[in-house]
Each structure stands twice: as structure tokens, then as C-alpha cells.
């Protein structure tokens, strides 16, 4: 269902202000402060969840063919070359978005990594040891990190860090690269921070996650906070609450969608259209983005699908009588299909999304509230409001909260980039991590009660 675009950023965002929950200084030096100062925030929090991860419930995986399987036709996932940066006064830096398949260069010689973008921007890293995925290089341990974006930050008297997410060197040439960097002066008067992606797939992501609330507040955890200067809808008067979120590759930005289909874009997420000015038969309840961030879909509770940008319409359940309302959607890795899931766990597959099973014919203790696909698109997880996890296709069961007494119901889930784990979140912002999903924090003690979901 293709609709006429209506620019909600113009229509309803004049009173937008950045969330006070996420200080910009913390965003600029999040990785530096945790890594360089030797705190154990992430490790300590993860330990607290070991008991939860140890309580699992084996759950049935019955099949219910509510939609006919379609033949897979996976295309190559596009590679991303982009730089997203911010710089300026640490209390109010200016977000700079540079997205280009050309004009980004990287060299590695003599132990020195040099990344350039635009005409006068660069990042130079030396003395940090071998560059390997997962490595953190910081100035406190002797590395020299200089970031130039408007002004020079480093190397003397600064706190700086670089986190390597992906690095491939072939015959002395940097074939691919994904990293995050930050540099803050000792006087705390200037900061440069950002992410770099060179010939990497969209799945090259930092191990963090975002929680979004019905009022449009967004809170990021883990390395996802490193470029958390995009803003959100805190303080904005919305016609309908926020019900969905999708992120761009390499965490350069995100979209929020409200129950009336109004779309709000931040960072390098572009606005492609919305239903904010249309009368809908049923409210919108979720969204998904294409792999190259060139478009997005969102879905209503009757299964009506709305597509924008390079997101193609492959079908919907808008004209079908449903046993239960649709509660979520997920896109295939190549963006050429999607799944819809109903509250009874019924699965509807469109495009190259394959049907692997559902809970549509099962008696559930609590309704299904969300789903997440595996990285190769050959499976998916479903999560129920009690934290029960149901796996289909190549999605593996890593644990659940189904046997835990929860303070608030589960409202959403997200999977790790390699599919080796997943997170689930509750309405109070509590986060539970399983498999290789690292617990990086939650809103469980923040006094909130309207968390609507989570996104990578």
C-alpha cells in the first residue's frame, strides 16, 4: 500500500528538543569513560543477569501454515561506506552527517591507521597494537588518537578511544573497516566523535541496543551510546504514542513511528513519507527498514502495510479476516520481503520471506508481542508477554524469562548481529539478555512504565 508522503518533521516537530536522559558529554566519551577509567558497568550488569539466563523453559515449536512458503531469492546484501560524526562544544555538539560511497579512504602502514573523509576531516590512530575486531584502543594506554573535524582533538591532554568493530587488511590495503571513535579535550571544551564504515555490510553493528518509550524518548545502551546525539521526541506533543523504531546501518540514525503512522527521522535516517495526515482503518504498531536505509515499511494492526523509499510492497493481510491482530513485523536480510506476526503467533510471509512455523495453533500462556529474524533470514524468534521464546527455522533457543516472575510484561525483542543471542525488554525498561547478547544496561530502576520496544 503506497501512500502520498507527508513530511512529519515539518508538520509536528517545531518544539522538538533533545532528551535530557542522555547528556551529550556522556555520549561523546561513553566508550572512553568506561574503557579508560576501568569501570565495570557492563560486566557487573551482565553478572546480575546470569541467574536469569540460567532459568529457561523448553517450549513447543509446532508448525501452523498460515501463509504459504515462498521460494527464497536472497540477493547480495549491499555494503555500506559512510561516516557519521559530531563535533563542537561537549555540551552542545553539532551533528554532522557524511554519507558517501566515495570520498572515504583508509590506509594502514607502519602501525598507523589513517581514515579520511570529505576535504578536511581525518582520524589518525597509532601506538594501539594490532587492529582486530573487538579491540579498543585508547589514549590512557599510550595510543595516539587525533580526530579532525572543524578543529583538531588530540593527541596531548585528551581522552580518546577507538573501538574496532570490523577490520580487513588484504595485501596492505584496507579492504573493509568499521569503527567508532571519540576524542574529548582535557578542558572538556571540544569533542569529536563518530562512526566509520568502509565496504561493510549493514549487519556490522556495535553491540548495543535502544529502548524507545511511548512518549518518543529514546535511551541507548552499550556502544550504541557512542554516537547518541541524534535526539528524540522527548518534550514533543504527539498525536499518538510512538510504537516502533528502526535504525540505519552502523547506528548512524533512526526512525520513530507513531500510532497514526507519523514518522520522525534523526541522524542520517531520511524521511521518505508517512500516513500522519491520513485516516487509517487501524493504528500502526511497528516498522522495519531496508538494509541500505533507503526506505521503510510500517504495519497496522489489521496487517495493512505501508511502504516508502526503496521499500517495496509485497503484500499484506489488510483484506484478510484475522483471528488476532498483527503485533509486529520484520524484514528479510536483503529487504525483498517481510514477515508479519499476530498476537497468537500466526506468521504471514511476503516476498522472499519464508514461512518456518508459528504458534498460531498453540495455546499460549500470554500473547506474542514481537519477533526478530535470524541474520540469514532462515528463521525467526517470537517472544510472548511473559518472556516465553519460540524458535523456528535456524533460530536457536538461548533462554527465556518464561519461568521468571516479571515486574512488567515483555514488549519487544532484538537479536544480535550474528544470531547467537537476543535481548528482550519489558514495559518498565528491564532488559534480559541471552546467548551472546551482552547486557549493557536498562531502565528497570528509572521509574518508567511506557517502554514500547527495542531496536538494534
Given a cut of 50, whether residue 394 has pLDDT beyond it is yes
CB 341 within 8 A of CB 357: no
Domain residues for 168? 80-200
Residue 139's Cα: distance from chain center in Å?
Answer: 28
Q: Which of 152, 168, 200 is the last residue in one of the domains? A: 200
Given a cut of 80, whether residue 323 has pLDDT beyond it is yes
Is 234 contained in some domain?
A: yes
Q: Are residues 395 and 309 in the same domain?
A: yes
Q: Which of 165, 184, 200 is the last residue in one of the domains? A: 200
Q: What is the mean pLDDT of the chain?
A: 81
Is 33 contained in some domain?
A: no
Q: Are residues 238 and 357 in the same domain?
A: yes
CB 230 within 8 A of CB 254: yes
Grid cell in block for residue 169 = 587488511
CATH number, position 366: 2.120.10.30
Assign 229 to helix, strand or coil: coil
> Model pTM?
0.79
Given a cut of 90, whether residue 288 has pLDDT beyond it is yes
Beta bridge partners of 295: 309
Q: Are residues 219 and 189 in the same domain?
A: no
Among 285, 397, 370, 379, CA closest to 332: 379
What strands, in cross-sheet order, belong to the sheet with 144-149? 104-109, 112-117, 121-126, 144-149, 151-153
Given a cut of 60, whether residue 454 has pLDDT beyond it is yes
Residues 6+ apart with CB under 8 A from 447: none
pLDDT at 89: 85
Q: What is the pLDDT of residues 247-256, one digit of tens each?
A: 988 777 899 9
Q: What is the pLDDT of residues 54-109, one digit of tens each?
A: 222 222 222 233 333 333 334 566 788 888 888 888 777 777 888 787 889 999 99
Amino acid at each position: 500500500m503506497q501512500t502520498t508522503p507527508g513530511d512529519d518533521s515539518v508538520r509536528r516537530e517545531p518544539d522538538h528538543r533533545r532528551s535530557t536522559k542522555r547528556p551529550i558529554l556522556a555520549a561523546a566519551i561513553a566508550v572512553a569513560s568506561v574503557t579508560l577509567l576501568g569501570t565495570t558497568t557492563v560486566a557487573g550488569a551482565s553478572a546480575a543477569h546470569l541467574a536469569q539466563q540460567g532459568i529457561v523453559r523448553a517450549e513447543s515449536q509446532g508448525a501452523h501454515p498460515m501463509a504459504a512458503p515462498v521460494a527464497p531469492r536472497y540477493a547480495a546484501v549491499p555494503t555500506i561506506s559512510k561516516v557519521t560524526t559530531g563535533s563542537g562544544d561537549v555540551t552542545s555538539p553539532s551533528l554532522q552527517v557524511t554519507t558517501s560511497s566515495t570520498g572515504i579512504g583508509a590506509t594502514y602502514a607502519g602501525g598507523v591507521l589513517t581514515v579520511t573523509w570529505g576535504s578536511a576531516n581525518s582520524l589518525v590512530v597509532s601506538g594501539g597494537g594490532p587492529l582486530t575486531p573487538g579491540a579498543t584502543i585508547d589514549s590512557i594506554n599510550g595510543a595516539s588518537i587525533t580526530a579532525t573535524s572543524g578543529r583538531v582533538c588530540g593527541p596531548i591532554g585528551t581522552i580518546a578511544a577507538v573501538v574496532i568493530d570490523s577490520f580487513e587488511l588484504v595485501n596492505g590495503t584496507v579492504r573493509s573497516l568499521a569503527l567508532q571513535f571519540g576524542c574529548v579535550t582535557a578542558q572538556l571544551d571540544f569533542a569529536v566523535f563518530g562512526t566509520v564504515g568502509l565496504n561493510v555490510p549493514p549487519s556490522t553493528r556495535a553491540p548495543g541496543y535502544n529502548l524507545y518509550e511511548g512518549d518518543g524518548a529514546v535511551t541507548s545502551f552499550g556502544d550504541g551510546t557512542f554516537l547518541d546525539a541524534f535526539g528524540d521526541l522527548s518534550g514533543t506533543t504527539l498525536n499518538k504514542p510512538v510504537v516502533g523504531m528502526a535504525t540505519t546501518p552502523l547506528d548512524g540514525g533512526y526512525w520513530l513511528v507513531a500510532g497514526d503512522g507519523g514518522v520522525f527521522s534523526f541522524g542520517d535516517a531520511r524521511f521518505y513519507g508517512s500516513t500522519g495526515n491520513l485516516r487509517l482503518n487501524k493504528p500502526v504498531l511497528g516498522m522495519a527498514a531496508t538494509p541500505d536505509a533507503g526506505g521503510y515499511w510500517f504495519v497496522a494492526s489489521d496487517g495493512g502495510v505501508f511502504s516508502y523509499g526503496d521499500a517495496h510492497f509485497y503484500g499484506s493481510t489488510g483484506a484478510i479476516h484475522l483471528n488476532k491482530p498483527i503485533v509486529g513485523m520484520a524484514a528479510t536480510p536483503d529487504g525483498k520481503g517481510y514477515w508479519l506476526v499476530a498476537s497468537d503467533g500466526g506468521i504471514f510471509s511476503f516476498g522472499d520471506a519464508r514461512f518456518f512455523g508459528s504458534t498460531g495453533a498453540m495455546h499460549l500462556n500470554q500473547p506474542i508481542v514481537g519477533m526478530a529474524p535470524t541474520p540469514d533470514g532462515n528463521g525467526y524468534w517470537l517472544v510472548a508477554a511473559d518472556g516465553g521464546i519460540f524458535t523456528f527455522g535456524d533460530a536457536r533457543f538461548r533462554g527465556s524469562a518464561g519461568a521468571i516472575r516479571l515486574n512488567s510484561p515483555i514488549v519487544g525483542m532484538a537479536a544480535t548481529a550474528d544470531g547467537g543471542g537476543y535481548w528482550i525488554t519489558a514495559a518498565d525498561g528491564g532488559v534480559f539478555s541471552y546467548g551472546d547478547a551482552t547486557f549493557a544496561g536498562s531502565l528497570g530502576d528509572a521509574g518508567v512504565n511506557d517502554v514500547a520496544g527495542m531496536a538494534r
